[in-house]
């Protein structure tokens, strides 16, 4: 006759099973969660005295301040890099994309800082075309072996700037996530929202460019592009 009640498990067997279960749960907890935010691969530190290309428009060229207080000049002083100011006032993303090949060939930069798109927004150009241009700029720079840092630009309008209600356009996060490149966010939106840091509604003054460059340095350090 078979006993209908199973024999009790030994305490040592139960303890071993519990340990195995807890170890498995701990391993799962330590696994990265898919889809929980963008994490760009840690960058390689750019050596001191390396050439860095700052591609952009009037916010890069330094409209509203002198050449030696534009953000690329400030960045050069803070990092020791040779920062080429490739900002052209009024440039759209399409025009920056057109200029890029010659700039890459001439300067052969170790890092390209891409900050473009404000004029596209002001002229109400297609957001999808702007996104495609910026993505192509970043991809073309990467194809030469250069590292790329994308700078987010707010969706500029005179009304938004005058009220101080500026926020980064979503396309920059999208492009950075897609290409797995670092993003400097809230730099220009923070500066241009503060009347004390502006020369006019859509440009920084010397103090604003200094503030932007200082924030950029922190992002460069956080991403590994600049050694601490």
pTM of the entire predicted model = 0.81
* Tens-binned pLDDT, residue by residue, of the chain (228 aa): 444 444 444 445 444 444 544 444 333 333 333 333 445 567 899 999 999 999 999 999 999 999 999 999 999 999 999 999 999 999 999 999 999 999 999 999 999 999 999 999 999 999 999 999 999 999 999 999 999 999 999 987 655 555 567 899 999 999 999 999 999 999 999 999 999 999 998 999 999 999 999 999 999 999 999 998
Handedness of CA 217, 222, 227, 228 (dihedral sign): positive
For residue 153, CA distances in Å to 5, 31, 111, 117, 189 come to: 71, 33, 19, 7, 7
Which helix H or strand E contains 221, and what residues bound it? Answer: helix 206-223
| Residue 160 near residue 204, CB atoms below 8 Å | no
The C-alpha atoms of residue 172 and residue 73 are separated, in whole angstroms, by 24
Q: Which amino acids are annotated catalytic?
A: 58, 200, 203
Interstrand relation of 203-204 and 198-200 (parallel, antiparallel or unpaired): antiparallel
| Domains of the chain in sequence order | 51-223 (3.40.50.1110)
Which helix H or strand E contains 150, and what residues bound it? Answer: strand 147-151
Nearest to residue 133, comparing CAs of 168, 180, 97, 103?
Answer: 97
């Amino acid at each position: 006759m078979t006993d209908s009640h199973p024999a009790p498990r030994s305490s040592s067997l139960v303890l071993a099973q519990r340990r195995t279960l807890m170890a498995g749960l701990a391993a799962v907890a330590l696994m990265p969660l898919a889809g929980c935010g963008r994490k760009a691969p840690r960058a390689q530190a750019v050596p001191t005295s390396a050439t860095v290309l700052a591609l952009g428009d009037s916010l890069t060229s330094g409209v509203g301040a002198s050449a030696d207080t534009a953000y690329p000049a400030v960045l050069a002083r803070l990092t020791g890099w040779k920062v080429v100011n490739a900002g052209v006032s009024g440039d759209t993303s399409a025009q920056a994309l057109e200029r890029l090949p010659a700039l890459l060939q001439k300067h052969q930069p170790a890092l390209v800082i891409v900050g473009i798109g404000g004029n596209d927004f002001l002229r109400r150009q297609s957001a999808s075309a702007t996104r495609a241009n910026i993505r192509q700029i970043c991809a073309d720079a990467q194809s030469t072996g250069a590292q790329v840092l994308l700078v987010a630009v707010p969706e500029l309008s005179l009304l938004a700037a005058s009220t101080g209600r500026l926020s980064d356009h979503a396309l920059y996060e999208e492009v950075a996530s897609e290409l797995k490149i670092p993003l400097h966010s809230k730099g220009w939106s923070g500066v241009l929202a503060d009347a004390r840091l502006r020369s006019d509604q859509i440009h920084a003054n010397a103090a604003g460019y200094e503030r932007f460059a200082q924030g950029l340095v922190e992002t460069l350090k956080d991403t590994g592009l600049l050694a601490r």
